[in-house]
Every structure is written in structure tokens, then in C-alpha cells.
Chain A
Amino acid sequence: KQEVTQIPAALSVPEGENLVLNCSFTDSAIYNLQWFRQDPGKGLTSLLLIQSSQREQTSGRLNASLDKSSGRSTLYIAASQPGDSATYLCAVRSNYGQNFVFGPGTRLSVLP
């Protein structure tokens, strides 16, 4: 059974810092991995999707990497801004189950 963890659970940084959020999964036979952002009281917004054959994806100030062999993905946010404050979730789709399993999220606060 796939399990997804995210460290840290919460993170507070000053504006302008570069930061890394971590996602770990127990079964490396994944189909794809997707990073989401969730603002308080809102639904999830897709940030980046990495297919199992890819090692990274970039969108603006965001870069997500995937290392299947070690069961890890990282989300790199460059030059953080207060508007980046939200909860960031990763979701893993396994080959065999075809279901998304979500991590618990990392709550990010970027201080002005």
C-alpha cells in the first residue's frame, strides 16, 4: 500500500528566500506525481505534474524533481513571496492501483 509523507509539516520563512519542500513515498512503482497548492477554505490548484519517465518539471519560480529509486520528490520555490503562503500537497498515482494517494501537506508561511 502506497504511503506518502511530507516534511516539514509547517515552514515559516522570510520573503525572498529560496525553499525546498519534501515528499516521500514508499512504493517506487509510480505512474506520476502531482504537486498542488491549497489556500485556506479553497480547493486544490495544480502546480506541476511529473510523469514517471521524467526527472523534473518547471513552471515559473517552481521546480519539482522526482527520484523514483529513492522514493522522493522535492518542490523548489525560488524567491518566495507572501502570496506563496498556502499548504502544499503532493499526490502519487501508483502503477497498480491508478489511485492518487495524497500526503498530509506542508503549511508554508512567507513573512513580508
Chain B
Amino acid sequence: EAGVAQSPRYKIIEKRQSVAFWCNPISGHATLYWYQQILGQGPKLLIQFQNNGVVDDSQLPKDRFSAERLKGVDSTLKIQPAKLEDSAVYLCASSLVWGNPKNEQFFGPGTRLTVL
């Protein structure tokens, strides 16, 4: 079974530029998550999708971050414009069904973003 795929693996941009990250979850997984992990900290949830609908985006900085999952499969996370403090690893995860306590989350390798 293929895991969660993410691209690119690394990205270096200057502040005020735009950047986009792509995620392809495990086939059949209805729930998709985007996390931000700053060095030395645990991941922080940015947004959670159930199929193509947003379940929770309460911690997403909506003035600069946006995410979509138009067909309920792949997802894109965008930052526009980027700030220095956005330097982090952006992790995508998926799980089979949201709301089932037996569901495990499976993570992709992440995209390491450096903002100069």
C-alpha cells in the first residue's frame, strides 16, 4: 500500500514570496490533515478535511494561508505572502474515517520550508 505522498521535499524562498505544497493521501482515506512543525516542537494542526469539506481550520492563519481539496483526494496548501516565521516542516497526514476512535493517522515525509 502506497503511503502519503508530498512534494516538494524542500523549498527555499524569500519573504513575501508565495509557495504551494501538494499532498496525495493514502487511497481511500477520507480525512486529510495539514500540520506545521517548527523545529523542536510537536506538529500543530493547520487544517483538517473530511472528503472535500473543511472540518477544522481554526488554527490556519487565513490572511496568508489557504488550502483546498477540490475532489476529495489530493490537497494543496498555499502560503502567500510568506514570512520568516513560516519556516517549518509542513506535514500532511490522512486517516480512513474521521470520528472513528480506532483510526490511525499516517504521515507523509513532509516539506521543509525555509524563508529567507
Quick one: which of B13-63 are within 8 Å of A by CB? 33, 35, 40-45, 48, 55-56
Which of A31, A43, A89, A102 has the most B CB atoms < 10 Å from its CB?
A43
Interface string of A34-76 (1 = CB under 8 A from B): 1010000111111001011100000000000000000000000
Residue in chain B with minimal CB distance to A95: B101
Residues on the A chain within 8 Å of B106, using CB: 46
- The answer to whether A44 and B43 touch (CB under 8 A), given A98-B98, A99-B48, is yes
Nearest CB of A to B79, in Å: 19
Q: Contact size class for A?
A: 20 to 34
Residues on the A chain within 8 Å of B103, using CB: 49
| Contact between chains at B41 and A46 (CB < 8 Å) | no
| A97 to B57 CA separation, bound complex (whole angstroms) | 12
Nearest CB of B to A106, in Å: 11
> Chain B: residues with CB nearer than 8 A to chain A?
4, 6, 33, 35, 40-45, 48, 55-56, 91, 93, 98-99, 101-110, 112
Q: List 29 A-B contacts (CB under 8 A).
A: A4-B42, A32-B101, A36-B107, A43-B107, A43-B108, A43-B109, A44-B43, A44-B93, A44-B107, A45-B107, A46-B104, A46-B105, A49-B102, A49-B104, A51-B101, A89-B43, A91-B105, A97-B56, A98-B56, A98-B98, A98-B99, A99-B45, A99-B48, A100-B33, A100-B45, A102-B42, A102-B44, A104-B40, A104-B41
